[in-house]
Structure 1
Amino acid sequence: MPRSTTTERMKRLELITARLKSDEALTVAGLSEEFGVSSRTLSRDIQILRDQGLPVEADRGRGGGIRLHSSWGIGRVNFSYSEAIDLLVSLAIAEQMKSPFFMAELAPIRRKLLASFSPRLKNDISDIKSRIRVGEAASPMVLSAFSAPAQTVVEELHQAFVTRHLLEISYRSIEGRTTQRLIEPHYLLLHSPVWYVLAFDHLRGSIRTFRCDRIEAAQLQDQRFKVIGIEQFDETLKNLDVIGP
């Protein structure tokens, strides 16, 4: 048989992985015939998958069965920097909400995840967690005018909050008037399902609270800011569900 090109092998590895994860009854001989390669080539492919961390088990012999180990989905998972932060912060928020269902193991899960992270990432996660607050469920009056914010707005706000960058937003007030604001997103507050941004507003030159679902557009800025103490937002938080900024 002719030798496979690198592209062909990569494509074949992807297909073999997909077949293994489908839980079908598979054999070396059957997959060799399906992909038009020798049993030796297929065995080398399986070894590559093992080297990449996929726990493939194979019975001895040319026609031996192959499968994923029964615990393959519980092994090590590699997260990107942003994924790790999002996951740990989400777990922290879920813990603060104190839901009685499906939440019993959150604390040990969080500890296990943190144990595998670098000191720098742990510090970053701790800082971000300290800037997120969870309150009571939103009032009926707030819910009556609530709609989920646009995904593009969420992504820009997320980036600005995590990296401490200024954010330019188009904001619709409770009266329906839209203004352009330049804000420093210091804290996030959840009155489920409504999120608020506790920010310094450069247009007003003072502390303001913004409902995320009233942010119509957002654009990340180059300038960074230094986080101020949460106590500076106490006054604006008192009437949060009664009036908008």
Structure 2
Amino acid sequence: MRSSTISRIERLEVITARLKSDLPITIGDLAKEVGVSTRTLNRDIDVLKLKGLPIETDVGRGGGIRLARHWGVGRINLTYTEAVDLMISLSIAEQMESPLFMAHLSSVRHKIMASFSPAMKSKVNGLKSRIIIGKSASTFVLANFESPKVESVQLLHQAFLMTQPIEIVYMNERRERSIRVIEPHYLFLSYPVWYVLAWDHLRDDARIFRCDRIEEINPINGEFKIIPLSDLKKRIKKTPEN
């Protein structure tokens, strides 16, 4: 019993490797190659299909066997952070409404959304309305722009999606540092510079923060309620802390 089990496991590996080689072969020839009957081979194929291998077969005598032509884009395992970053990126692309980006965004979104819990789906669905696309940044702003740290971007994305307050170390345009607790309500892109439209607990008012000037981020337990954009704009000073 053990011998036959090991034999079958090895045979399944050989069949999988042979199909991945992408060389044309018939069911009969593959059965001979692995030393089994076509009936046994068909049972093996059923097992591999159940494991998720996208196998196509041609009906009839001498029918061929192959992997589905679109296989290769197969299953992708994303970490939670990667999934959050990807969903925010998709929301940005949707908000830009560029035909170049829109072709397959809907199907991609649906496939990724399928992996989220109902509560998470609700949050993700609201992302598009919380991302604002503006004009490109001026040469003055670009003169002192630096790309934000990857770690900071990931933490900001997570807090933004989960409507979670964060503590930040922020350096303003006068290079003065301060520690603030903020609620990241909206993201604003003035390409390539990102801003956070936030509620600032220190000022007890709305403020704008440039993402590349956020030097450190620490998540804080809790959840805030989204303030309507029109209300937030009314409270933001004419000269933001950028």
Do they fold alike, i.e. is TM over 0.5? yes
| Residues 124-147 of structure 1 deviation map (CA, whole Å, 9 limit, x = unaligned) | 333222211111111112222222
Partners of 2:5 and 2:202 lie apart in 1 by 62
2:103 is aligned, of 87, 102, 105, to 105
Does residue 1:158 correspond to 2:157, yes or no? yes
Q: Tell me which residue corresponds to 1:184.
A: 183
CA RMSD in angstroms comes to 4.3
Local SS of the residue matching 1:165: coil
Ranges in structure 2 where 5+ consecutive residues have no aligned partner: none
Q: TM-score, normalised by structure 2?
A: 0.71
Structure-2 separation of matches of 1:215 and 1:150: 9
CA 1:17 to 1:164, structure 2 compared with 1: closer, same or farther past 3 Å?
farther
**What corresponds to 1:143 in structure 2?**
142
Superposed, 1:74-89 pairs within 5 Å as 89=88
Identity of aligned residues (%): 44
Q: Say whether the 8 Å CA contact 2:81–2:158 is kept in structure 1.
A: no
Equivalent position SS for 2:141:
helix
Q: How many Å separate the matches in 2 of 1:32 and 1:187?
A: 62
Give the deviation of 1:92 after TM superposition. 4.0
| 1:190-227 Cα shifts (integer Å, max 9, x gaps) | 11221111111122222111111111221211121111
Alignment: residue pair count: 232
Counterparts of 1:110 and 1:69, CA distance in 2 = 19
Q: Distance in 2 between matches of 1:162 and 1:83?
A: 13
Indicate conservation of the 8 Å contact 1:91/1:110, yes or no: no
* Structure-1 residue corresponding to 2:232: 232
Alpha-carbon distance change, 189 to 20 in structure 1, aligned in 2, over 3 angstroms: farther
Cα gap change, 1:80 to 1:151, in 2 (>3 Å): closer
Partner of residue 211, structure 2: 212
